[in-house]
Amino acid sequence: MIVILASVIDGVLIGAVYGLAAMGLTLIWGVMKVINLAHGIIIVLGMFALYFLATGLGLPPYGAVPVVITLGFVLGVALYWIAVHRIIGQPELMSLLATFAVNMVLVGLGTALWSTSPYNVPVSLPGVSWRDYTFTGTHLMAALLAAVIAGLLYLLLYHTRVGKAIRAVAGNREAAELSGIPTTRILAAAFGLGVALAAVSGTLIATMFPFTVLSGEAYQLKSFVVTVLGGLGNPAGALLGGIALGLVEGLATPFMPVSWIPIIEFGLFVLCLIVFPRGIFALSKA
């Protein structure tokens, strides 16, 4: 019984971080109908950013978080102008190809620079022990920061002019343009924001686990599942979707061989697409 509870708590903590990663993906889709296939490698860049900021420059690990958000935003805006701007409004296949190309280039560069061997950033934070089980400090901190960053995103989207503009562009770009919103700049900012969220989730993951240049693939897949669970284009749903995914992982593990977990995950993904195509948390709005 205790093992189930421990697994569920672990699952919820890690799920919050999955949710944060997926928020980046879903925000970009929601605003500009671009599926960002460079999502995984951007998560990895966030991981390596932590590695270099913490072990190279000696920054405290959590001090790297605001730096990564800033760098991620700048990288996102740059990527928008390089690869995304010209395919806005084109068929979705174009955006898939463009962002996939960015992904290939970055993965290639990463492999050449850092090889595919694992990197580790040691973060010591006291955890909470209960009976035989320990909830590590890094997991607790990552979940907390994920929730805080999600809260800040909510404030940005719903209580600032930029946020209103982003939502207006997402709703109807032509109407937004007609009301005097500089939509191109808003699109660039939204892409930057999405990339910053993906990068910072990578940073949080890197405080918990070792990583390689190719780690992004697994998190990208999880982000897709989470996005579908939470409803495409719905950042708040993404956070809940992430927690739901973590919960399912945690809840299922004690009862079955762990190699079955991906089957449950992707089974859920397909089921969700069929039964709740707008996401399980989008029902109230439907």
Partner 1 sequence: MKRTILGMALAALLIGATPALADDALKIGFTVSQTGKLNNDSVAQMRGFELWRDQVNAAGGIKAGGKQNKVDFVTYDDESQNARVQQLYTRLIAQDKAQFLFSPYSSGLVASAAIVSEQYGKVMITTGAAEEKTYKLGNKNLFQIYSPAGQYLAGALLALKAKNPKAQIAFVYEDDPFSKAVAQAVRELAKRDGMTLALDESYSSGTTDFGPIINKVIASKADALLGGGHYADGATLARQLHDQKAGLKWVTLLVAPDSPNFATLGDAAVGISVPSQWEPQVKFKPDFGPTAEAFTKAFSDKFKIEPGYHAAGGFAAGLILQHAIEQAGSTEPAQVAAALNKMDVTTMFGRTKFSTEPKEHGLQIGHEMVLAQWQRKNGKLVKEVIWPNAAKTADIIY
Exposed/middle/buried for residue 58 (C-beta within 10 Å: 0-12, 13-18, 19+): exposed
Q: By CB under 8 A, tell whether 207 contacts partner 1.
A: no
User: CB-wise, 5 or 280, nearer to partner 1?
Assistant: 5
Minimum CB distance to partner 1 smaller for 11 or for 24? 11
Q: Which stretch binds partner 1 (CB under 8 A): 10-18, 22-30, 57-65, 90-98?
A: 10-18
Closer residue to partner 1, CB minimum distance, 38 or 189 = 38
Give the residue with the Cβ less far from partner 1, 149 or 249. 249
| Least distance CB 55 / partner 1 (angstroms) | 9
Subset of residues 77 to 136 that bind partner 1, contact rule: CB under 8 A: 108, 111, 115-120, 122, 127, 129, 132-134, 136
Nearest CA among 88, 206, 194 for reference residue 142: 206
* Options 20, 40, 229, 249; binder of partner 1; rule CB under 8 A: 249
* Residue 122: strand, helix, or coil: coil
Largest CA distance in the chain: 62
Window of 83-91, 140-148, 232-240, 257-265 that interacts with partner 1 by CB under 8 A = 257-265
DSSP 52-107: IIIIIS---GGGHHHHHHHHHHHHHHHHIIIIIGGGTTS-HHHHHHHHHHHHHHHH
| From 62, 80, 191, 211, residue interacting with partner 1 (rule: CB under 8 A) | 211
* Alpha-carbon torsion (118, 124, 126, 129), positive or negative: positive
Q: What angle do CA 237, 239, 240 make, to 5 degrees?
A: 65
**Phi, psi (degrees; rounded to nearest 5) at 54:** -80, -50
Cα 204 to Cα 222: distance, rounded to the nearest angstrom: 16
Question: Minimum Å distance from CB 48 to partner 1?
Answer: 13
Length of the chain: 286
Q: Which of 197, 250, 269, 279 binds partner 1 (CB under 8 A)?
A: 250
Shortest spacing between CB 121 and partner 1, in angstroms:
9
The span from the CA of 156 to the CA of 38, in Å, is 24
Quick one: DSSP state of residue 116?
S
* Cβ atoms of 168 and 176 closer than 8 Å: yes
Nearer to partner 1, 132 or 174 (CB): 132
In the complex, the residues that contact partner 1 under the rule CB under 8 A are: 2-3, 6-7, 10-11, 14, 108, 111, 115-120, 122, 127, 129, 132-134, 136, 138-139, 205, 208-212, 214-215, 217-219, 221-222, 249-250, 253-254, 257-259, 261-262
